[in-house]
Amino acid sequence: MTDSPRPPRPGRPAGSRTANPRGAAGRPFRPRPKREREAGETLYLYGLHTVEFALKNPRRRALKLLATRNAAARLAERFEGGVLPIDPQEASPPSLDRLLGSDAVHQGVALEVEPLPPLRARDLNGAPLVLVLDQITDPHNVGAILRSACALGVGAVVTTARHSPAESGVLAKSASGALDLVPIIEVRNLGDALQDFKAEGYQIVGLDSEGPAPLEATALRAPVCLVLGAEGKGLRQRTREICDVLARLDMPGEIKSLNVSNACVLALYVVRRAIAPPAA
């Protein structure tokens, strides 16, 4: 006789497993830390826009270009004289799928590159608008934020050395080329960096759902550092304390909150119009 399956416990989906909070042998469970890219390790960028701007970026070192015949021809059209700066190696769509993963929308092209060399705050050159990300870790969100930052003329995006996504193909594809267009400045201590920006005359504006006034009703003046916090957690306490002003985005619809990348583009648009009003 065959034993019948044991029914699931109430409130617990069939087939689920309960994590042991103390791990093996009774030791406290600790999540595996995020793997950091080792020095000299390369990565693959993919997608026509992403690869185009990586090849046009003088700070980017390209190592190998893989492309289908059609994709190579389409990419060459974007360069003067139809000549690519690196000779492509012909590849098939299945081989690119195997290299990049089946979920990668590569459009028939992939570029092996070295990570961009880091920039420092002194490389800003007096940008009137700087975007600061306080522990936003999702690469899709950061990529979308970079794309919006590029479209709205942000001079640089500041991230932290920890609790921010490593440069990757996913981030670059989400940014649609902006990874190689917008300067990214990495700092070790965000609070100290904001203090340095303040000393240089920047107005530090924190986007906060509990800000005392809407962003569009806030007095803004260039240069501005707009600071965004992670979804759910928001700005950290020290970041909030350093900000000159906290402001919110008011939504008229039933849903009052936005994805951080959507909130970013709205906030950047408001700030850009406030510090550089359109000509009459």
Q: Is the pTM of this model over 0.85?
A: no
- Give the pLDDT score at 31: 39
CATH entry, 43-113, from 1.10.520, 1.10.10, 3.30.1360, 3.30.1330: 3.30.1330
Interval 115-144: pLDDT, tens = 998 887 777 777 999 999 999 999 999 999
CATH 3.40.1280.10 fits domain 121-275: yes
Residue ranges of the chain assigned to CATH 3.40.1280.10:
121-275
Q: What percent of the chain has pLDDT over 70?
A: 84
Of residues 231 and 115, which shows the higher confidence score? 115
Would you say 233 and 135 are in contact if contact means Cβ atoms under 8 Å apart? yes
Distances (CA, A) of 96 to 34, 52, 140: 26, 17, 21
Q: What is the mean pLDDT of residues 48-55?
A: 96
Longest dimension (CA), the chain: 86
pLDDT tens figures, 62-88:
999 999 999 999 999 999 999 999 999
Bigger pLDDT: 16 or 238?
238
